[in-house]
Amino acid sequence: MNAEKRKETYSLHSLLGFLAMGKTGANPPVSAVLTNTEGQILASAHTQNYGGNHAERELYSRYIRPEVNDRRENQSLDLASDQNPNETYKFSTYDEILSVSLEPCTHFGKTPPCRDLVIEKKPKEIKLGWKDPNPLIVSGEWETYKKAGISIGLDPMLAKVSFPYLQGFLTRIQTGRPWVWIKSATSQEGNFASSDKKKERVSSVEVDLSLQLLRAKVDAVAVGPGTVISDSPSLHFRISEEMINSHKLGTRTTELEPFFEAGSGLISSILQYANETAEIHNLEESLYQPYRVFCLDPNHMPSDEFFQKQRELTEKYGEKKCIFFILTDEELESFHPVLENHIQSVSRFEGISLKQDDGGKFLEILGDLGINTLLCESGNFFPNFLAEELNESDRILEIRNENKSLPDGIPFIFQNELLISEYQVGSNRIFIRKPNGSV
């Protein structure tokens, strides 16, 4: 396979992973591509929405092999039969290369093991991006493939292009908590709000489409109690015609970044694919809806208008996707009946009592719910609440509008953390940072 064909395959993997991310639930957003040995793409697919086909099963459900028998015998393997230990089998494989961003599963879940299906289909070679850290998977158990005449190995470039979409799943499986993003829109001075906390727009319309697509890529969007009261936010994912018309293309202004950098990779993909995937995301709007996570102050409850907005969204999408955390000085077994009724109307879960220093518990609960990637839309609540919990894989996202001034405003705490990448989108500079105090 020549370099141009390899590049085409990797680009397709990137697009497939991007489209899968945000609608696979707790499952990883895996991409799969089948080519012939010359690099011609025969079929491709990604993991379907939660409970549906994994990428490999979806790919083979779409692929019909030509009737011409293009199988090749492999007589170099010595696999003894049960009846005759001295007998050596001849195996036939097709001249096909299957590349998959994550190792095929080996267990029975909502679908049968993908490993068994792949062996049944007998590609000549399998290229993998990542081994699967899920303890339910027998990872690295590749002798079964080899005995079937299928060569298998890891592909570093495939790992790189799929990393932005798999990082959340890998993080949750390995740590029990989501991959965390803390996002803030700031003025040219680096302030997220005026000193009197007056409600006003900070980011420009040029980045609206990109920021909505970021919501579509995460499994949950969270806000603190101050934002709930001041903004009465909806937090759902949506795309409007105005967003599409106002959208500006982005360019990365930093020259170098680490080879395996999931954060920059995700933002680069959003900027790259925003225009061409807007219609797809719009058509599948209900599948890309994140959980809406609200941290509430029991002494300052949201308005009825706020809960009505959430009930309308629940009715529109046919699913209760709100999660409520109540910040208290001590754990409470129950809340005010009015609040409990509001929560029951829009959430499958009871309200969860948390103390002001329970940031770790907050992340663990969300991880237990299968949330791979969490976007915290912040003023200064989450930078303080999660200050001791952020790790090296977590990312800070600052969108600084150079045409907006908030003199003597409230500064974003994380605006001076270690810079990894910077982008320019119209009048906005987008900074991706790593928290210096990460654990």
> What is the tens place of the pLDDT at every residue in 382-438?
999 999 999 999 999 999 999 999 998 999 999 999 999 999 999 999 999 999 865
User: Does the pLDDT at position 329 exceed 90?
Assistant: no
- Enter the tokens of residue 260: 């395996």
Residue 242 pLDDT more than 60? yes
**Residue 394 C-alpha from the chain's centroid:** 13
pLDDT above 70: percentage of residues in the chain? 91
CA-wise closest residue to 229 among 162, 168, 298: 298
Given strand 395-401, what is the order of strands in its sheet?
250-252, 418-425, 428-434, 395-401, 179-186, 373-377, 220-223, 291-296, 322-327, 352-354
Between CA 358 and CA 198 the distance in angstroms is 29
Segment 48-56 shows an average pLDDT of 92
Higher pLDDT, 259 or 394: 394
Helix, strand or coil, per DSSP, at residue 376: strand
Predicted confidence (pLDDT) at residue 136 exceeds the cutoff of 90: no
In whole angstroms, what is the distance from residue 210 CA to residue 270 CA? Answer: 6
At 80, is the pLDDT very low, low, confident or very high (cuts 50, 70, 90)? very low
pLDDT bracket for residue 67 (50, 70, 90): low
**For residue 166, what pLDDT is reported?**
98
Classify burial at 259, counting beta carbons within 10 Å of its beta carbon; exposed 0-12, middle 13-18, buried 19 or more.
Answer: exposed
pLDDT at 92: 65
Model pLDDT for residues 197-215, shown as the tens digit of each residue: 787 889 999 999 999 999 9
- pTM score: 0.92
Classify 432 as helix, strand or coil: strand
pLDDT at 35 over 70: yes
Query: Are the beta carbons of 206 and 247 closer than 8 angstroms?
Result: yes
Q: Which domains does the chain have, with CATH numbers?
A: 3-163 (3.40.140.10), 176-434 (3.40.430.10)
Share of residues in the chain with pLDDT > 90 (%): 77
Split at pLDDT 50, 70, 90, the class of 112 is confident
The per-residue pLDDT for 198 is 80
Residue 76's pLDDT is 39
C-beta of residue 430 within 8 angstroms of C-beta of residue 423: yes
CB atoms inside a 10 Å sphere around CB 110? 10
**Residues sharing a CB contact under 8 Å with residue 393, sequence separation 6 or more, in sequence order:** 167, 171, 179, 262
HSE of 122, CA atoms in CB hemisphere, 13 A: 16
Q: Tell me the pLDDT band of 75, cut-offs 50, 70 and 90.
A: very low
Higher pLDDT, residue 256 or 246: 246
- In angstroms, the CA 404 to CA 203 distance is 8
DSSP run (H or E) holding 241: helix 241-246
pLDDT of amino acid 195: 85
Is the pLDDT at 46 greater than 70? The verdict is yes
pLDDT confidence tier of residue 78, bands split at 50, 70 and 90: very low
Strands 291-296 and 220-223: parallel
**SS3 category, 342:** helix
pLDDT of 138-167, one tens digit each?
767 788 999 999 999 999 999 999 999 999
